[in-house]
Amino acid sequence: MLPSFEEKSVWVQLIGLVVVFAGYFGISGVMLANGVTEMAPYVSLFAVAIVLLVVVQIVGHIAAAVIGKPEPRDERDRLIGWRAESNSSWLLATGVFAAITGLLFEFEPVWISHVLLASLFASEALKLVLQIVYYRRGV
């Protein structure tokens, strides 16, 4: 059975997120390794990543809508979304806790911001993966 529009949308979001943020963290990792600790270059890189992410999402959703007719979310889509969110939010909470700990130990802002960003990315990616698992395996 072909996936629903909602499931295709989840795939588009996951692929876009992983591709764009793999690029972002790859480049920023090299910058951090080379001792770049000012925020300005990272902010520019992040802005480019966000624009790319939006473009990938728009193109992906247009392609998904062309392949199959978009349908509104129904109760199963909502349940899957809630359950995936509930089982992935701990990653973001862990990142926030790590960032607060980093602040207490006076880590540089660039590290704090990347811990927060990485936890946000990981939490969102886990949520999308769980949604796909629930669509395939059942809830």
Give residues in contact with another protein (CB under 8 A).
1-7, 71, 74-77, 135, 137-139
Q: Rounded to the nearest whole angstrom, what is the least distance from the CB of residue 70 to another protein in the complex?
A: 10
Distinct helix (H) and strand (E) counts, the chain: 4, 0
Structure tokens at 40: 């300005």
Distances (CA, A) of 64 to 2, 6, 90: 12, 9, 30
Q: Which is nearer to another protein, 21 or 134 (CB)?
A: 134
Q: What is the rounded CA–CA span in Å between residue 63 and residue 130?
A: 23
Looking at the Cβ atoms of 74 and 108, the one nearer to another protein is 74
Q: How far is the CB of 116 from another protein (least distance, A)?
A: 35
CB of 130 to another protein, least distance (A): 15
